[in-house]
Structure 1
Amino acid sequence: MVASARTTTPSTPFDLGAYLDRIGWKGAARQPDADTLRGVQLAHLRAIPFENLDALGGRAPSLDLADLTAKLVHGRRRGGYCYEHNTLYAAALEALGVRVTRLTARVVVGADRFEDRPRTHMALLAELPGDPRPYLADVGFGAVGSLLEPVPLTADTEFHDAGRRHRLVHAPRRGPLETWVLQAHLAGDWRAQYAFTLEPFEPSDYEVINWHIATNPRSPFARRPYVQRLTPDAHLLLDGDRVTVTRADGTATERKLTDETEARRVLAEEFGIDVPEGTTLLG
């Protein structure tokens, strides 16, 4: 007999006001429309950093909504990775009256075959009242090719989202469900970011994936720090001991950190993150 994974259910009502205050969204009306969807996603991305420090410290982060609110909304000096960000974002969208379907995707950056990559990324499908087009929404993809705003689920159409360029295309089908691929225009070329189907996933599914990604010794998130912060002018990335700053025009600079003290200072001053006690960054 195989033990079942613990399911996640919200333990307290979602505090939409505290969330909107945390991300600094100043929209005049809390309406479930396309303008709100775009504004909230961009504000979330600029306010809450992406980071894997719990996994780096050997802990699978909690996906309970109360724990996420404490860490990402009230904590102020922490971030999270995709399951944390998009679980929180989904709760906010639902509180705004948006219908949300939780999806999983294969991260295919640099992959020769999509099938070689497991489904380890959480993304969202958002449906707005009176709008026939569903939107791909995502605040948890830790890469320079991530969406800054939701885009309609429409194939072969280029979208400009807050200065970035994306499109959705179909991949050859290997099953009954259509495979969608998010592509980003980077360095003059269209590059696949992740592939997904529209099969809905449940909180219990993410509990299993989250535990695997956080605790498997072969997972890159369990072996080195991976942190990003988005500003209006640049994308900041800490990957291992290297910091890369990519500006809006695509130019980038990179520098190497020398030791643990410098890494902690950079996270505090440039990324706005306090390193949890007992976590070693450059071990």
Structure 2
Amino acid sequence: MFDVDAYLGRIGWTGGAPRPDLATLRTLHKQHLMTVPYNVAGQGFADGVHLVDVDEDEVFRTGIMEGLGGTCFQLNRLFFRLLSALGYEVSLLAASTAEGRENFGTEIEHMFVRAVLDGEEWLVDVGYPGPSYLEPLRVSDEVQTQYGCQYRLVRKDDEGGEAIALQRRGRVTRWGTVYTFRLQARQWHDWKELEDRARAHHATAAPDDGQGTLCGRTFADGQAVLKGRRLLVVRDGRERVRTVVDDAEHQRLVTALLTGDPDLAGLA
């Protein structure tokens, strides 16, 4: 069963009774990312795709307490529930990566959270493989820096109204879009069409040869993301990318990212 105290303990909260303020939100956000991995195989895909009709208690037990992780539809959904229970004013937002729109033809491929604190809006996302922000981002026009990386929100008008591109760059890389979204509150059922499309896509997917892997883990000063055979490691804004050819090394990397043991595959 979903349990707030157990949740807080699992992600390493040691500050006593949490207050619904920005300092607490920053700590919970980063601790969650460091404790629970993004794992596309963690929840909801073994027996089909479940994005809307989710057993939150079961996902809480396996994804959070047992550390199997999950995708945005499990992790951000549970974090939304946690923040609500702690007294935060939160709503769900939808976004799309370029790849997501190409595969599923929709702008609501991703689920994340908006929190409102003292009249300011903050983006909250513990369900993205990375690289992305490790702490909440203020909704503003300023460039924000976290752990050597910079982030900005670029606004543009299109036929659906104002859209916002969340962009990121490392110390020596150019600006690139993480995902595009609108500041429009969403409900669970908004993702039903995507669930149907994802099921059709999943049913016709080729057998896994490692190319279907997608997992990510946050460390104190960055992130590591394994997408298929491509490994991206970001430390203090410096990026290293390589292709993993050896099957045994690939498996060690998956295990390292899911267990949080960076030494296991030389990620430290």
Q: 1:222, 1:106 → 2: CA distance?
A: 25
Letter in 1 for 2:130: A
Whole-Å separation in 2 of the counterparts to 1:179 and 1:242: 30
Gaps of 5+ in 1: 1-12, 274-283
SS in 1 for 2:28: helix
Relative to structure 1, is the Cα distance of residues 239 and 16 closer, same or farther in structure 2, using a 3 angstrom cutoff?
same
The amino acid of 2:187's aligned partner reads E
Match of 1:79 among 66, 69, 74: 69
User: In the TM superposition, what is the alpha-carbon distance from 1:31 to its structure 2 partner?
Assistant: 0.6
8 Å CA contact 1:109–1:191 kept in 2: the answer is no
Q: Counterpart in 2 of 1:41?
A: 29
* Equivalent residue number for residue 169 of structure 2: 185
Question: Which residue of the partner structure matches residue 90 of structure 1?
Answer: 80
Residue 124 (structure 1) aligned with residue 152 (structure 2): no
Paired with 1:215 and 1:89, the residues of 2 have a C-alpha distance of 28
**1:220: Cα distance to partner?**
8.3
Q: Evaluate the alpha carbon distance shift between residue 247 and residue 100 of structure 1 in structure 2; reply closer, same or farther with a 3 A threshold.
A: same
Determine the C-alpha separation between the residues in 1 that align with 2:152 and 2:66: 35
Q: Does 1:142 align with 2:129?
A: yes
**In the comparison of the two structures, how many residue pairs are matched?**
251
Secondary structure at 1:105 match in 2? strand
Equivalent position to 1:267, from 251, 254, 258: 254
Matched, 1:65 2:56: yes
Q: 2:13 & 2:206 partners in 1: Cα distance?
A: 30
Contact conserved, 2:100 with 2:109, CA < 8 A, in 1? no
Q: Which residue of 2 aligns with 1:231?
A: 219
Equivalent of 2:150, from 135, 158, 165? 165
Distance change in 2, residues 1:199/1:234 (3 Å): closer
- CA contact 1:57–1:222 (8 Å) conserved in 2: no
CA distance in 2, matches of 1:45, 1:82: 12
Distance 1:124 1:192, change over 3 A: same
Residue matched to 2:263: none
Measure, in 1, the Cα distance between the counterparts of 2:164 and 2:193: 23
Q: Cα RMSD between the aligned structures?
A: 3.0
Please tell me the residue identity of whatever aligns with 2:254. L
Instruction: Indicate whether 1:196 and 2:193 are aligned.
Output: no
More deviation, 246-255/63-72: 246-255
1:153 corresponds to which letter in structure 2? V
SS in 2 for 1:71: helix
Residues 49 and 79 of structure 1 are in contact (CA less than 8 Å); yes or no, is this contact kept in structure 2? Answer: yes
Other-structure match for 2:266:
none
Unaligned runs of 5+ in 2: 261-268
1:205 and 2:194 matched: no
Q: 1:203 to 1:222 in 2, by over 3 A?
A: farther
Return the TM-score normalized by structure 2.
0.81
Match of 1:241 among 229, 237, 243: 229
Identity of paired residues, percent? Answer: 28
Q: TM-score, normalised by structure 1?
A: 0.77
Deviation track 1:85-121 (CA, whole Å, cap 9, x = no partner) reads 110110111011011111111213799x9xx763201
> 1:197: how far off?
1.3
Q: What is the deviation of 1:152?
A: 1.8
